A and B are shown apart, each in its own frame.
Chain A
Amino acid sequence: MADTPLPDAPAHAAGEGYWQLVWRQFRNRRLASISFAVIVILFLLAAWAPLLANGKPFYWREIPFGASQAVTTYPLLQYLVAPTQEFSVEYLFNYFCILTLTLPLVCLPAYLLSRGRGLAPKAVRKRSTYAVLGAFALAALPFLAPGFVTRAATKVERAADPAMAQRLKEIEAEYAAGKLVGEAYATAKREAAAVTEFRILRSWRLDERPYLSDFADLREGNAEVEAIFPPVSADPVVNTSETLHPPGVYGRLGARRYRKIDVESIDEPLPPGVSRICLVATVNEISGGDVRILERDTRVHIEEDETRAQLKDLRAGDRAWFMGRRVEAEGGGAPRFVAEAVRPESRPPAWTRHLLGTDRDGRDVLARMLLGSRISLSVGIVSVGIYVLLGILIGGLAGYFRGIVDLAISRLIELVICFPSFFLILVILATIEKRSIFLVMLIIGLTSWTGVARLIRGEFLKLADQDFVHSARALGCGSLRIMFRHILPNAMGPVLVAAAFGVASAVLTESSLSYLGFGAPPPTPTWGEMIKQGKDNIEVAWWLLVYPGAMIFLTVTAYNLAGDGLRDAMDPRMKR
């Protein structure tokens, strides 16, 4: 343009390639660097999530039932190396978690060792490659032999404390005789056995029940505790599934079955065969053994003492499950309710207990958000990876071979574009009954490749006419080589930008799918599912709505900013 007649200042520093130039321009933009930092932080948070949101404590020292020696286990470590039965997202992120520890462990000494030597750049590169590969291999080792790690990490103390063993025997005898029940039993045992543990955030997953210390143990007489959930496996490493608790579900407490009802329907006739109900309500006021609940101004009376002890965990504004029976009022008044067990449900944020509150089942919101970031990030990156590869392949074929291939592929692209992508994803997920996170990734990948394909096709059409392609062909390069080694690197620019925006859009799609119930299967924490809970409890639990949504917003903004920054960095006019 004649408007700016400045001779262009040379933008390349000496010896700088195209991508180094792009990276330098990217770094110079403040917003883009910030967004990149945020992305890295999010990724690290996702990788370290189990270390922060501890389902299992870092270490757990106790005297098991019937033994007389203390045993220290490291449940978190066991979880890290063997999170699930089959391959899942957890494995991948746990690997990255361990990788972040081994990389500095290996590379730092290597760097220090080779610093003073004054090696040639090529040798430095070779050494650093070996160091990095070594770190990767080292990180993979524990996963190959999880049992070995578990055994090696368990420590049995040699000396047995006879006084402690005696005390434990006494406590078990009292329990068997029915004299010591409920919370008192758990507390006594814990005190006697000098159980110690350490964790950062309590997330309360099912397989953590052996490690829970503030879980209101519900016991009745001598019956084994099952609470509302099916029994867990004795092996704490194995992850078992939880269940959702929609109204109507039957829960068991000991030998009794409770049907969960909403407080609005407290005076509706009970279905036949149901005598005990589990009422979900908001606590308004606690006085003595009575709880006044907010909705319907119903009084809940707690009869037994140890059940009253469970009230100490409740505050006004908490939601709780009251399990018991309904007592019809004399004279046609509102029915009363007698509770045999109480369990706190969703809790608002509080500095002392749960930083961002708990959800409908009492699970800590911050912990679930951290774990949910694993799902969102993996869906984002994997599905974008899938559709970028697919788009490159298809678009490349169309743009390079042209003619009938281009015609057919263009018509195919037009056909796929006709289907609204979100709609299509939903329909496919709804028709396939199986729910799995990998399926979600695959479906998102299979439906969104058209944008990248068109981009690549356009670039290939433009570039295949250029002289460097002709010369490559004259040298005898085969088509495949020309396509992927000569043309593709030149076309990658816009694709990277599209990929960055694609991750943002995939995260939005995944959260929308989870919100509608078609995302990852139930026990998996996802941000969309937490927002759904927030909507269902919109009058009461604003924290379920605000925080996961803010997290989604943050992630999406970071990726959008990164995409913007990348695009500006590659724009030849915007030199900095």
Chain B
Amino acid sequence: MTAYILKRLLLFPVMMLAITLVSFTIINLAPGVSGSSSATGDASAQRMTRQQLKTLRETFHVGKPVHHRYLYWLGAMQPEYRPETLTLRLPFSVAPDAVPGVRTVRVRFAFQGAIDEAERMERVRAAKKAEETLVPAWDEEGCYPRGSAGGELELEIELQKKALFLEAPPSPVFRNPQPLAEGSPFSWALAWERPTAEQGGGGTLLLQISSAESHYLLIGGEAAPVLEVTGDVSGMSFAPVEVPPAPKRGVLFGDLGKSVERPSVTVAQRLWDALPITLLLNFISILVIYLASIPIGIYSATHQNTMLDRSSTVVLFMLYSLPSFWVAILLLKGMVVLKNAGLPYLPIQGLLPTGADDLPTLEYLYTATKHLILPVLALSYGALAGLSRFMRVGMIDIIRSDYIRTARAKGCREPRVIFKHALRNSLIPVVTLVAGLLPSMIGGSIIIEQIFGINGMGNLAYTAMLTRDYTILMATLTFGSFLTLAGILISDILYVIIDPRISFESGGR
């Protein structure tokens, strides 16, 4: 058994990888993600703002060769680090025997910048359209000449006995970035960090280079920034400049991109906010389904063809055929009618009313439960009906089997026969149904959450579909599939544990 479980657990990450591959392929059908490297090439992509296109291109690495894009997105390959803002740290320390006084220090820095490809082509096209000749400051790949972003700083550092500060000390925060040159897209700002007492004399100079929109700084290889300190540096020693390392990008490192609609929020953040709500809703629904349908199935099987059994079969069958969104809206309408008539009604919006955090625990739980009743009902009634029928049929089959007859022949009374012998056997296939339940719950929760105004993953996905927020869509699809995969895995393992008939040497099914 352990071998089987280990095998399945090992297969889990492989399947997750396959899921991400399929999701990536699907999202690539979208306009703006597929298509040429130019941002405005695709006609329907023109409906998106430039900012949205930029977010898409960043997240899905549009423009790179197609076989690399998936790896970049996944995080298996890291793209070139192209920051728009860079903060360099220049630590320096003062020797204990340094002579106090004012020093004039010159700091010369040089960078290389580049213009965003989309912007570059836009300018070229615009110039062509206006029939002007464009004299670009950048080369064919959009790179500014080496050292094009650079400048010189002159600082006066006053060394004193105890402490040390820079003349006209720069602020501890960056203020007023100054353009490096007239019309340059790059600007710089200075700050410094005072040392803590233990470090003795010294400090860190912080130099921030920022670039205008559609420009960025090149960091790697030959384009590495250069910082030179000249001047009177007696008594001071400057350590080599610290270039911040490139942040790891990609799904494997938790980077899911930014929301296309609202780039200030990362997708991971929105997913993190929405996921627990959906999980709660689905978990409670599954619990309700199992707790309700197992007794119903047992009762139906043991009291076959009684009035209650027949009528419940009819009712359950009808429930099974009702569209879930219709039921949800009818419940909504019912509550509206009750409200208009002044009768008590259940809340229909959201999971918690505003200001719920202030309530004491018991009231909090009470109002949370009230809010949950309708969505859980709408989400679970279909599966409840199906599972009850399934339980009933299974139980009837099992009750007819030979080992139940043996149990009766032993002298077991009827309750023992049903609840010990029959139930155990009939629960086995029911457990495996969890695997099929979870995906339909996740799909159904899209509609239910939208109708009841619950901000879970389903609602997130739906609004993403309406607003064409492909990054969020991608993340929800992938995570929904992960959840389903987890459900399948759990039910397979449970099945193997519960049913002693499975022989693992032969590989099971």
Q: Chain A interface (Cβ within 8 Å of chain B)? A: 1, 3, 414-415, 417-424, 426-428, 430-433, 504, 508, 511-512, 515-518, 528, 531, 534-535, 538-539, 542, 545, 549, 552-553, 556-557, 560-561
Assess whether B488 is interfacial by the CB under 8 Å rule: yes
Q: Would you list 15 pairs from A and B whose C-beta atoms are within 8 A, ordered by A residue?
A: A418-B19, A418-B485, A419-B480, A421-B439, A423-B461, A424-B26, A426-B443, A427-B27, A427-B477, A430-B473, A504-B321, A528-B325, A549-B323, A553-B323, A556-B323
The one of A511, A518, A538, A549 that contacts B336, using a Cβ cutoff of 8 Å: A538
With A420-B443, A560-B320 in contact, is A516–B26 under 8 Å at CB?
A: no
CB-based contact B329/A423 at 8 Å: no
CB-based contact A433/B31 at 8 Å: yes
CB-based contact A428/B325 at 8 Å: no
The one of A427, A512, A516 that contacts B323, using a Cβ cutoff of 8 Å: A512
Q: Tell me how far the C-beta of B236 lies from the nearest C-beta in chain A, rounded to whole angstroms.
A: 59
Listed residue (B321, B442, B485) with the most chain A CB atoms within 10 angstroms of its CB: B321
Q: Complex formed: what's the CA distance from A359 to B234 in Å?
A: 87
Assess whether B428 is interfacial by the CB under 8 Å rule: no
Closest to A561 in B: B317
Size category of the B interface is 35 or more
The one of B323, B330, B405 that contacts A508, using a Cβ cutoff of 8 Å: B323
Closest to A420 in B: B439
Q: Complex formed: what's the CA distance from A552 to B318 in Å?
A: 12
CB-based contact B329/A538 at 8 Å: yes
Q: Scoring B residues 464 to 487 as 1 if CB is less than 8 Å from chain A, else 0, what string do you get?
A: 011010100100110011001100
Chain B residues whose C-beta falls within 8 Å of the C-beta of A518 in the assembled complex? 465
CB-based contact A431/B473 at 8 Å: yes
CB-based contact B465/A420 at 8 Å: no
CB-based contact A423/B480 at 8 Å: yes
Chain A residues whose C-beta falls within 8 Å of the C-beta of B481 in the assembled complex? 418-420
CB-based contact A552/B439 at 8 Å: no
Listed residue (A518, A528, A534, A549) with the most chain B CB atoms within 10 angstroms of its CB: A549
CB-based contact A431/B329 at 8 Å: no
With A427-B477, A432-B29 in contact, is A419–B44 under 8 Å at CB?
A: no
Q: Complex formed: what's the CA distance from A431 to B447 in Å?
A: 18
Chain B residues whose C-beta falls within 8 Å of the C-beta of A534 in the assembled complex? 329
CB-based contact A552/B473 at 8 Å: no
Q: Chain B interface (Cβ within 8 Å of chain A)? A: 15, 18-19, 22, 26-27, 29-31, 44, 317-318, 320-326, 329-330, 332-333, 336, 400, 402, 405, 438-440, 442-444, 446-447, 450-451, 461-462, 465-466, 468, 470, 473, 476-477, 480-481, 484-485, 488
With A420-B442, A420-B484, A427-B465 in contact, is A511–B317 under 8 Å at CB?
A: no
> With A3-B405, A420-B443 given, can you name 9 additional A-B contacts, CB distance below 8 Å?
A418-B15, A419-B439, A419-B481, A420-B480, A420-B481, A422-B443, A539-B336, A545-B326, A561-B317
CB-based contact B323/A431 at 8 Å: no
Closest to B464 in A: A430
Chain B residues whose C-beta falls within 8 Å of the C-beta of A420 in the assembled complex? 438-440, 442-443, 480-481, 484
CB-based contact B446/A419 at 8 Å: no
With A431-B470, A535-B329, A538-B336 in contact, is A423–B323 under 8 Å at CB?
A: no
The one of B44, B329, B461 that contacts A545, using a Cβ cutoff of 8 Å: B329
Q: Tell me how far the C-beta of B368 lies from the nearest C-beta in chain A, rounded to whole angstroms.
A: 25
Chain B residues whose C-beta falls within 8 Å of the C-beta of A421 in the assembled complex? 439-440, 443
Q: Complex formed: what's the CA distance from A421 to B26 in Å?
A: 14
With A419-B481, A431-B29, A556-B323 in contact, is A414–B446 under 8 Å at CB?
A: no
CB-based contact A538/B443 at 8 Å: no
Q: Complex formed: what's the CA distance from A89 to B27 in Å?
A: 29
With A549-B323, A560-B321 in contact, is A431–B480 under 8 Å at CB?
A: no
Chain A residues whose C-beta falls within 8 Å of the C-beta of B336 in the assembled complex? 538-539
The one of B44, B329, B333, B446 that contacts A426, using a Cβ cutoff of 8 Å: B446
Q: Complex formed: what's the CA distance from A516 to B481 in Å?
A: 21
Count A-B pairs with CB separation below 8 Å: 133
CB-based contact A431/B484 at 8 Å: no
The one of A422, A535, A549 that contacts B451, using a Cβ cutoff of 8 Å: A535
Closest to B34 in A: A431
CB-based contact B19/A556 at 8 Å: no
Q: Complex formed: what's the CA distance from A65 to B76 in Å?
A: 73
Q: Tell me how far the C-beta of B491 lies from the nearest C-beta in chain A, rounded to whole angstroms.
A: 12
Q: Complex formed: what's the CA distance from A534 to B328 in Å?
A: 12
Q: Complex formed: what's the CA distance from A552 to B326 in Å?
A: 9
Q: Complex formed: what's the CA distance from A138 to B444 in Å?
A: 46
Closest to A542 in B: B333
Chain B residues whose C-beta falls within 8 Å of the C-beta of A424 in the assembled complex? 26, 477
Chain B residues whose C-beta falls within 8 Å of the C-beta of A553 in the assembled complex? 318, 321-323, 326
With A419-B481, A538-B332 in contact, is A414–B15 under 8 Å at CB?
A: yes
CB-based contact B22/A419 at 8 Å: yes
CB-based contact A431/B330 at 8 Å: no
CB-based contact A418/B488 at 8 Å: yes
Q: Complex formed: what's the CA distance from A418 to B405 in Å?
A: 40
Q: Tell me how far the C-beta of A80 lies from the nearest C-beta in chain B, rounded to whole angstroms.
A: 31
Closest 4 CB pairs of A and B: A422-B443, A420-B439, A430-B465, A549-B326
Q: Tell me how far the C-beta of B374 lies from the nearest C-beta in chain A, rounded to whole angstroms.
A: 15
Closest to A410 in B: B509
Q: Complex formed: what's the CA distance from A538 to B337 in Å?
A: 10
Q: Complex formed: what's the CA distance from A27 to B364 in Å?
A: 56
Q: Tell me how far the C-beta of B387 lies from the nearest C-beta in chain A, rounded to whole angstroms.
A: 15
Chain B residues whose C-beta falls within 8 Å of the C-beta of A561 in the assembled complex? 317
CB-based contact B443/A423 at 8 Å: yes
CB-based contact B330/A545 at 8 Å: yes
Chain A residues whose C-beta falls within 8 Å of the C-beta of B468 in the assembled complex? 430
Q: Complex formed: what's the CA distance from A431 to B450 in Å?
A: 19
Listed residue (A427, A432, A549, A561) with the most chain B CB atoms within 10 angstroms of its CB: A427
Closest to A518 in B: B465
With A433-B44, A531-B325, A542-B333 in contact, is A415–B22 under 8 Å at CB?
A: yes
Chain B residues whose C-beta falls within 8 Å of the C-beta of A538 in the assembled complex? 329, 332-333, 336
Chain B residues whose C-beta falls within 8 Å of the C-beta of A556 in the assembled complex? 321-323
Closest to B14 in A: A411
Q: Complex formed: what's the CA distance from A556 to B318 in Å?
A: 9
Chain A residues whose C-beta falls within 8 Å of the C-beta of B446 in the assembled complex? 422-423, 426, 516
Closest to A416 in B: B22
Q: Complex formed: what's the CA distance from A531 to B447 in Å?
A: 13
CB-based contact B440/A422 at 8 Å: yes
The one of B318, B325, B405, B473 that contacts A515, using a Cβ cutoff of 8 Å: B325
Q: Complex formed: what's the CA distance from A528 to B325 in Å?
A: 9
Listed residue (A431, A433, A557) with the most chain B CB atoms within 10 angstroms of its CB: A431
CB-based contact B326/A422 at 8 Å: no
Listed residue (A1, A414, A418) with the most chain B CB atoms within 10 angstroms of its CB: A418
Chain B residues whose C-beta falls within 8 Å of the C-beta of A432 in the assembled complex? 29-30
Q: Complex formed: what's the CA distance from A426 to B332 in Å?
A: 24
Chain B residues whose C-beta falls within 8 Å of the C-beta of A504 in the assembled complex? 321
Chain A residues whose C-beta falls within 8 Å of the C-beta of B476 in the assembled complex? 423
Q: Tell me how far the C-beta of B34 lies from the nearest C-beta in chain A, rounded to whole angstroms.
A: 9
Q: Tell me how far the C-beta of A256 lies from the nearest C-beta in chain B, rounded to whole angstroms.
A: 29
CB-based contact A415/B321 at 8 Å: no
Chain A residues whose C-beta falls within 8 Å of the C-beta of B317 in the assembled complex? 557, 560-561
Chain A residues whose C-beta falls within 8 Å of the C-beta of B326 in the assembled complex? 531, 545, 549, 552-553
The one of A3, A431, A515, A557 that contacts B30, using a Cβ cutoff of 8 Å: A431
Q: Complex formed: what's the CA distance from A561 to B321 in Å?
A: 10
Closest to A431 in B: B30
Q: Complex formed: what's the CA distance from A433 to B465 in Å?
A: 11
Chain A residues whose C-beta falls within 8 Å of the C-beta of B329 in the assembled complex? 531, 534-535, 538, 545, 549
Chain A residues whose C-beta falls within 8 Å of the C-beta of B400 in the assembled complex? 1, 3
Chain B residues whose C-beta falls within 8 Å of the C-beta of A508 in the assembled complex? 323
Q: Complex formed: what's the CA distance from A428 to B31 in Å?
A: 12
Q: Complex formed: what's the CA distance from A418 to B329 in Å?
A: 29
Q: Complex formed: what's the CA distance from A504 to B446 in Å?
A: 20
Chain A residues whose C-beta falls within 8 Å of the C-beta of B442 in the assembled complex? 420, 423
Q: Tell me how far the C-beta of A462 lies from the nearest C-beta in chain B, rounded to whole angstroms.
A: 13
Q: Complex formed: what's the CA distance from A531 to B438 in Å?
A: 26
Q: Complex formed: what's the CA distance from A95 to B320 in Å?
A: 33
